[in-house]
């Protein structure tokens, strides 16, 4: 394992064994989360983002299960461990904000007490009074109005947005080594969203926490993430540092995602959409999983499935063609092709291909602009 990584996923396969057949929801995924970095995971609905992180947390439900792969957390293998063992090993060091937080709170315990108990379990040295003060402060930071009053509320007395903020407070209060956030702010209004994302960034800067952020919002990715993985039909199809991904988008699917978001100054009346839908995992096309929706697809794409290949340092795509639509090597054993999943950590470790601070900041701002958030830079 690369010591720069807090999490290293290799060859992860999680399948659903249904009556109608086997659905490869996560099909050979490699992801690195370097220490102190924020890594984004994006893709359309049903691509396998949640199932990837649920696999890491040992939370896949029947008929789904991890069938193959390695998950190293802080150097320790956690793949396939039962939930209780997993909790022992990484309970205090990994926090997760779930996509459906409403189901994660105990309905008969006051929300303040629930968060306080989490804090006390992880910090045995502090008193209940001190823990309560920290919870109220965290409630304030995640935008819960009148936090002293809300501390004594039961979950059903709070709106959906407030309950979500309670869950976010609970995930952050223990200052985990790794925060996994699955669409954490989707249901919140934009000002609260900005406040929470800013808080996530502050916590990363303050404690060196790493974050795996799943989001549909490419503006958030551009603003917040150091490195991005794009997922399609259970596989990573593109991965790169954030500014590289936005500046030199190479995979037709990522290009489609980026061109389907509105931009300031855009004159076209209709937004671009990617034709078709994510294929049914039980009936994937024979070759490249994207071939039925891809404008560049040819006979070769329908015959076999591409491997991830590195097209520039730390930038990998799963496609037979490069950004210009020209054929590139497709076999992972070809010269110049590198084992997948090492992009983020290599870059973090070597720094050799890293742009200067100002260049990177400039590229990031441009990427943010490209993602349709020009003029909102101050939001985070």
Give the residues lining the site for ligand SF4 (CB under 6 A).
252, 288, 290-291, 294, 296-297, 301, 306, 319-321
48 lies in the site for ligand ATP, by CB under 6 A = yes
Residue 279 is a binding residue for ligand ATP (CB under 6 A): no
Sheet with 64-73: list strands edge to edge. Answer: 21-34, 5-18, 64-73, 76-77
Q: What angle do CA 225, 68, 338 make, to 5 degrees?
A: 55
How far, in whole angstroms, is CA 199 from its chain's centroid? 17
Q: Is 342 in the site for Mg ion (CB under 5 A)?
A: no
Q: What, of ligand SF4, ligand ATP, Mg ion, none, does residue 294 touch, CB below 5 to 8 Å by kind?
A: ligand SF4
In the block, tokens 């992801």 appear at 31
Say how far apart CA 249 and CA 369 lie, in whole Å.
15
CB nearer to Mg ion: pick between 50 and 342: 50
Closest CA to 7 of 51, 71, 98, 90: 71
**Which segments of 3-82 does DSSP mark as H helices, in order?**
49-56
- DSSP 3-state of 149: helix
Take residue 371 and report the two structure tokens written for it.
Answer: 């993602």
Please give the residues from 3 up to 22 whose contact with ligand ATP meets the rule CB under 6 A: 16, 18
CB of 181: closest distance to Mg ion in angstroms?
11
280-309: contacts with ligand ATP (CB under 6 A): 281
**Measured from the CB of residue 234, what is the shortest distance to ligand ATP in angstroms?**
7
Block residue for tokens 């893709």: 43
Interface with ligand ATP in residues 95-134 (CB under 6 A) = 99
* One residue of 4, 5, 14, 50 binding Mg ion per CB under 5 A: 50
User: 86 contacts which partner out of ligand SF4, Mg ion, ligand ATP, none, CB within 5 to 8 A by kind?
Assistant: none
Q: Cα separation of 357 and 222, whole Å?
A: 16
Q: Which residue's CB is nearer to ligand ATP, number 16 or number 229? A: 16
- Note whether 55 binds Mg ion by CB under 5 A: no
Compute the distance between CA of residue 65 and CA of residue 80 in angstroms, rounded to an integer.
Answer: 9
70 vs 99 by CB, closer to Mg ion: 99
Partner from Mg ion, ligand SF4, ligand ATP, none binding residue 145, C-beta < 5-8 Å depending on class: none
Q: Does 46 bind ligand ATP (CB under 6 A)?
A: yes
User: CB of residue 31 vs ligand SF4: minimum separation in angstroms?
Assistant: 20
What strands lie across the sheet with 94-97, from one edge to the other? 94-97, 178-182, 210-214, 38-42, 227-232, 235-241, 315-318, 308-312
Site of interaction with ligand ATP (CB under 6 A): 16, 18, 23, 25, 43, 45-51, 63-64, 99, 281
């Amino acid at each position: 394992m690369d010591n720069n990584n807090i999490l290293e996923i290799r060859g992860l396969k999680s399948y659903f064994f249904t009556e109608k057949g086997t659905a490869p929801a996560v099909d050979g995924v490699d992801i690195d989360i370097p220490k102190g970095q924020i890594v984004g995971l994006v893709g359309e609905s049903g691509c396998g983002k949640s199932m990837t992180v649920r696999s890491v947390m040992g939370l896949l439900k029947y008929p789904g299960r991890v069938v193959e792969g390695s998950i190293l957390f802080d150097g320790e293998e956690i793949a396939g461990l039962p939930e209780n063992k997993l909790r022992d090993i990484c309970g205090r060091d990994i926090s997760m904000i779930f996509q459906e937080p409403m189901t994660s709170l105990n309905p008969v315990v006051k929300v303040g007490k629930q968060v306080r108990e989490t804090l006390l379990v992880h910090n045995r040295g502090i008193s209940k009074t001190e823990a309560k003060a920290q919870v109220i402060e965290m409630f304030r930071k995640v935008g819960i109005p009148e936090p002293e009053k809300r501390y004594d509320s039961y979950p059903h007395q709070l709106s959906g947005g407030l309950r979500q903020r309670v869950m976010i407070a609970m995930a952050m209060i223990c200052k985990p080594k790794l925060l996994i956030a699955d669409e954490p702010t989707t249901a919140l209004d934009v000002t609260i969203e900005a406040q929470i994302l800013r808080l996530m960034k502050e916590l990363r800067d303050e404690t060196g926490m790493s974050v795996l952020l799943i989001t549909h919002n490419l503006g958030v990715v551009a603003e917040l993430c150091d490195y991005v993985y794009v997922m399609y039909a259970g596989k990573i199809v593109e991965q790169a540092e954030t500014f590289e991904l936005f500046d030199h988008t190479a995979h037709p699917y990522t290009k489609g995602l980026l061109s389907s978001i509105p931009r300031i100054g855009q004159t076209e009346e209709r937004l671009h959409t990617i034709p078709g839908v994510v294929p049914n995992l039980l009936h994937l096309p024979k070759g490249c999983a994207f071939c039925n929706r891809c404008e560049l697809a040819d006979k070769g794409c329908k015959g076999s499935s591409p491997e991830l290949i590195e097209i520039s340092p730390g930038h990998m795509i799963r496609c037979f063609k490069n950004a210009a639509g020209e054929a590139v090597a497709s076999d992972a054993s070809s010269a110049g092709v590198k084992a997948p999943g090492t992009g983020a950590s290599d870059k973090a470790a070597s720094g050799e291909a890293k742009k200067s601070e100002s260049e990177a900041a400039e590229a990031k701002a441009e990427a943010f602009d490209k993602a349709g958030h020009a003029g909102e830079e101050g939001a985070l």
